[in-house]
């Protein structure tokens, strides 16, 4: 794949950021939603505390109590997240009825726990990707033009964390803070997401 426009939300944003950091020449543009890139080392003490507060569940899952509680009832944490990260009703009762039964499997539980423990350096990754992980652990710059969308009311990410990432994008990043939008940007502001994608898809044609 060459000259791709990568789009990702939350875990997908992390994957898109990683791909762009490792292989920038294959990506013409990056549109990421709700999960910012970078070490967040420029946050003020107050901002860092706010950042940790919205990420409490990540550290909770690194404990035996958190992991065992999540394994016993994964629906509880996911339902809580849906209710706190965006406004009520964004994840509808119908959505919940369809999605919650899909969480009742061991692979989902193990994947979530390992994902957050790995992110907190409490679990090792696959040896297959050790070299790539060593690169990504350094938070390399992303040399791909990027649009990052974050909801002003996101209960899982903070706007200061988004702005703290700016120095990691030497090819340019436009951070769009969307008012009255929470974590699930693609559901709450689909036109803003479509416009960001279209910008990169049509940019080369506009310059002809």
85-107 per-position pLDDT tens digit:
999 999 999 999 999 999 999 99
- Residues 165 and 192: beta-carbon distance below 8 Å: no
Reading the block at residue 174, the tokens are: 């436009």
The residue to which tokens 């090792």 are assigned = 124
| pLDDT score, position 206 | 57
How far is 25 from 106, CA to CA, in rounded Å?
38
**Arithmetic mean of pLDDT, 16-22:** 98
Identify the pLDDT of residue 208.
47
Using the 8-state DSSP alphabet, how is residue 3 labeled? S
- Quick one: which H or E segment has residue 188? helix 185-188
Cβ atoms of 163 and 175 within 8 Å: the answer is: yes
Separation of alpha carbons 92 and 100, rounded Å? 12
Question: What CATH number labels 4-206?
Answer: 3.40.50.1820
pLDDT in tens, 114-142: 999 999 999 999 999 999 999 999 999 99
Kindly report the average pLDDT of the chain as a whole number: 95
Read off the pLDDT of residues 140-195 as tens digits, 9 standing for 90 and up.
999 999 999 999 999 999 999 999 999 999 999 999 999 999 999 999 999 999 99
What is the per-residue pLDDT across 23-72, written as a single tens digit (0 to 9) for each?
Answer: 999 999 999 999 999 999 999 999 999 999 999 999 999 999 999 999 99
């Amino acid at each position: 794949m060459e000259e791709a426009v990568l789009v990702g939300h939350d875990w997908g944003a992390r994957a898109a950021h990683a791909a762009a950091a490792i292989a920038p020449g294959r990506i013409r543009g990056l549109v990421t939603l709700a999960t910012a890139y970078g070490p967040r080392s420029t946050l003020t003490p107050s901002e860092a505390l706010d950042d940790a507060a919205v990420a409490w569940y990540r550290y909770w899952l690194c404990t035996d109590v958190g992991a065992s509680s999540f394994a016993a009832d994964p629906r509880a944490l996911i339902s809580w997240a849906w209710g706190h990260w965006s406004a009520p009703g964004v994840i509808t009762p119908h959505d919940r009825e369809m999605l919650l039964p899909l969480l009742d499997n061991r692979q989902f539980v193990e994947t979530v726990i390992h994902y957050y423990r790995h992110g907190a350096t409490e679990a090792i990754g696959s040896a297959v990707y050790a070299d790539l992980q060593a690169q990504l652990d350094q938070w390399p710059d992303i040399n791909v033009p990027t649009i990052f969308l974050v909801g002003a009311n996101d209960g899982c990410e903070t706007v200061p964390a988004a702005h703290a990432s700016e120095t990691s994008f030497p090819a340019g990043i436009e951070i769009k803070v969307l008012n009255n939008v929470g974590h699930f940007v693609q559901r709450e502001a689909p036109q803003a997401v479509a416009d960001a994608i279209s910008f990169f898809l049509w940019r080369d044609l506009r310059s002809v």
